Amino acid sequence: MGQMIAEDGPQLPDESELVGMPQPDIEMHQQHWVRYSTMQEARCLKEWRQEESLLIEATQSFGDMTAPPQLNSGVPLAVSLKLLQAPAAFNRPMVQRKTFKPAFMVELELRYRGALNLNCKVEAYPMHETQNSKPSTWKPERSQQQLEIDNCTMTRQIQVGPPIGEAPHGADAPREYSHKEYFEFTDLRFIKSSRMSKRWLAFTCQIKGDFLYVIYTLPAVVISRRADQYNKAYETLTGTPLNLPKRARLTVPSNLAQSVFTEAVHSAINLSQQPHAQPPVLTKLQTQMSTEHLQVKGWTRQAGPPGTPAGVSELEEPQPAVIEPSYVHSWILQRYRRTGFSRQLTEQDMLALERQAGVSRPRGAGSVPRQHVGSSGSDPSSGGEGSAGATETAVDPVKWGAFREWFAKCLKALSKCNDGWNRNNPTWICGFAVDRNLAEQLLHDRPMGAFLVRMCSEPGSFAISCRMGEVGPGAVDHLLVDCVDLQGHTLQSYVLANDCATHLLDPVTGQLHRKEMVFGTSQQLLADNLLEQQLMMFANGNVRDANPEAFITAASLGYPSMSLGLGAYGAQQAPPPAQASYLANAPQLTAGLGMSNGGGQLAGGHGSQHAADRGGFPHSNGGGGGEMPMDFAVTGPQDSGMAGLADAWMMQPSSWEAGAN
């Protein structure tokens, strides 16, 4: 195993690094409380005791007791509740309706002498900031629990007792026994946004009218799937802005680290006398460490630019003392070229990326001629065609460091959607120039259901921007798909699961395309995933474990069907007449693909153009005994079968699409 090199700068672990990891030192992050039924406030105790409960109850009723109370043989002598496991990612912004990985696990320990037959119920409750500020007076609220969390109750029937043949069997038995029950809340989740307020979790259990609970002291901020909330939520939790740069973590082989340890100590002494000299240990590390011995956590190492020492990552490579705009321009081109994407960056993409990196250009100034963007470029250290000259303002180092990290994660996310990013007919994913504001401008005059897919300001995340209602602040909704979501499902799966997103807007041509024509259907995706899983099971010799029910549904993606959530966005208005007519008469796809018995041709006619003029989704009343959603003007005999379908996909969009612009 390797050792960690000391590093400076704030350490901000990604959520993707924490998913599936348990919280270390969980004993330090929990508080134990017991409230006996006759007390107003709880005591900070690790266990409930029957003797103390009876004594407090008797004292409240009869005054001071001279003799100890008689213990009940059917009740435990003591009960304790503690957390055994909690997810490390809980202390990061949590997306609502997402389960915790790993799950919270609670241990209930019973100490007894006589036989027990108990119905134990352990529950989870959310706690607000005002409640957490004074935990001794906290009382669980059922209405708050039902409103904010789901799958929060577990019940067990516990039957235990001393071994058979050992007597006496009662509270006065000579031996004391212990029994532990484990409650794992595998489906526990928040179902409501906390609106940038902190939330804690408390796990409770009742014994004989008394109440004991354990509070998990690390808070969470629950966010919806709307984009651009993660950074603010992170700052609320940690007090640190997320856009600060961080250093990559380097792992050095232990044998190499030990071999240079002594030299490192002597080098530190020499450095105090020669502050500008390069430490000999660094030179030795650079020359002796091979590529396979260097790992950058959460990042696949790629070859550095010319002049970069071997074994130094992109985030660790030397940077010039002054970051010029020309360096930024060439650096972006080089990093993008290394991904191998066939799609080229446009001038608008470069301007947007440079602006986010901190480059300030005079109004109207361009970046680089379009035909050169994405082609071969020069070394960042030597500038390039996009060099703006020495008169331009240098880039702020902090903003530049944050941009480098953000851009690296964006490229990593796009590499997972390589096929979709390279598609341009129509464009699946918008370029870097399309941000939240531009997406709302592009969709503001489109029918409800029009959507586009774009990169999000959160590193490595996407947003599905969809027209959900009439004009106003909530007309366009932004659904966040983060890097953690993409670990389990594809971006295509989230697009298909969004019931409200029906027509993809191509930002280049301005045309609308039916989602099923572009991304396929949920059934097709299910079949593809099922086939892939069956092949993997067969390769591993475990064919019987394939489970079709485990595939993509709106519920399995962590949120309900979007059509049920319109009220949350103020979009319960009835659709326009043209769209209502389209929805009421929406034909089956087979009717327009030559599957009916009639003969003749289908073409966009007068009805199609008329619907486009009214701003709704049109349909054609062409011959052949069926109607067709007119993404394309299809002509030809109806018995063309799948060949006709393929030809239809290759044809130009019909006139109604141009009329809807």
User: 525: pLDDT confidence band, cut at 50, 70 and 90?
Assistant: low
> Mean pLDDT, to the nearest integer, of 501-509?
91
Helix/strand/coil for 634: coil
Of 416, 447, 465, the last residue of a domain is 416
Q: Do 270 and 218 belong to one domain?
A: no
pLDDT over 90 at 381, yes or no: no
Same domain, 264 and 345: no
pLDDT of residue 14: 54
**Do 40 and 172 reside in the same domain of the chain?**
yes
Query: Do 401 and 433 sit in the same domain of this protein?
Result: no
The answer to whether residue 411 scores a pLDDT higher than 70 is yes
Q: State the number of CA atoms in the 13 A half-sphere of 317 facing the CB.
A: 19
Antiparallel, parallel or unpaired: β 503-505 and 450-455: parallel
User: Are residue 440 and residue 380 in the same domain, yes or no?
Assistant: no
459, amino acid identity: P
pLDDT of residue 158: 93
Over residues 441-458, mean pLDDT: 90
249 lies in some domain? no
Q: What CA–CA distance (Å, rounded) separates 481 from 299?
A: 20
Taking 50 as the threshold, does the pLDDT of residue 271 lie above it?
no
Residue type, 610: H
Higher pLDDT among residues 397 and 469, named by residue: 397
pLDDT at residue 620 in the model:
37
Residue 341 CA to residue 344 CA, distance in Å, equals 7
Do 215 and 78 lie in one domain? The reply is yes
Q: Is residue 178 part of a domain?
A: yes
* CATH number of 449's domain: 3.30.505.10
Structure tokens at 546: 């394939």
- The verdict on residue 309 lying in a domain is no
125 part of a folded domain: yes
Residue 524: band (very low, low, confident or very high) from pLDDT cuts 50, 70, 90: low
Of residues 431 and 260, more confidently modeled: 431
661 against 469, higher pLDDT = 469
Higher pLDDT, 130 or 368: 130
pLDDT, position 219 = 93
Q: What is the pLDDT of residue 260?
A: 42
DSSP letter assigned to residue 426: T
Under the banding of pLDDT at 50, 70 and 90, the label for residue 213 is: very high
In the prediction, which pLDDT does 154 show?
A: 96
User: Residue 262: how many CB atoms within 10 A of its CB?
Assistant: 10
Which of 385, 416, 447 is a domain's end point? Answer: 416
Quick one: pLDDT at residue 480? 85
Residue with tokens 């103390």: 52
Within this chain, do residues 83 and 119 fall inside the same structural domain, yes or no?
Answer: yes
Domain of 35, in residue numbers: 16-223
pLDDT of residue 613: 38
Mean pLDDT, to the nearest integer, of 533-547? 51
Are 582 and 478 found together in one domain? Answer: no
**Cβ neighbourhood burial of 142 (10 Å; 0-12, 13-18, 19+):** exposed
- Sequence-distant (≥ 6) Cβ neighbours of residue 109 within 8 angstroms: 47, 79, 80, 81, 82, 178, 179, 180, 181
Statement to judge: residues 434 and 495 lie in one domain: yes
Residue type, 145: Q
What is residue 7's predicted lDDT score, i.e. its pLDDT? 39
Average of per-residue pLDDT across 254-269: 46
pLDDT tens, residue by residue, 19-42: 788 999 999 999 999 999 888 899
Residue 123: CA count within 13 A, CB half-sphere: 17
- The pLDDT value recorded for residue 384 is 42
The pLDDT tens digits of the residues spanning 44-102 come to 999 999 989 988 888 877 666 566 678 887 899 999 999 999 999 898 888 888 888 89
Domain-ending residue, one of 178, 205, 223: 223
DSSP string, 477-517: EEEEE-TTHHHHS-HHHHHHH-TT--EEE-TTT--EEEHHH
91 occurs within a structural domain? yes
Is 259 inside any structural domain? yes
Lowest pLDDT segment from 204-208, 318-322, 331-335, 628-632: 628-632
Question: Are 111 and 21 members of one domain?
Answer: yes
Could you tell me if 64 and 128 lie in one domain? yes
Q: Which of these, 119, 136, 118, lies nearest to 127 by C-alpha position?
A: 136
Q: Is residue 235 domain-resident?
A: no
More confident residue, 54 or 291: 54
Please state, rounded to an integer, the average pLDDT across all residues of the chain. Answer: 69
Total number of domains constituting the chain: 5
Is the model's pLDDT at 239 over the cut of 60? yes
Report which of residues 329 and 531 the model is more confident about: 329
- The mean pLDDT of 289-296, rounded to a whole number, is 38
Question: Is 217 among the domain residues?
Answer: yes
- The SS3 assignment for 166 reads coil
Residue 571 or 520, more confident: 520
77-108 CB burial, b ≥16 within 10 A, e <16:
bbbbbbbbbbbbbbbbbbbbbbbbebbbbbbb
Residue from 84, 82, 71, 68 nearest 176 by CA? 71
pLDDT of residue 650: 38
Q: How confident is the model at residue 549 (pLDDT cuts 50, 70, 90)?
A: very low
The pLDDT of residue 538 is: 52
Same domain for 181 and 264, yes or no, is: no
From residue 9, how far is each of 18, 278, 414, 642 by CA, in Å?
20, 20, 27, 59
pLDDT band with cut points at 50, 70 and 90 for residue 595? very low
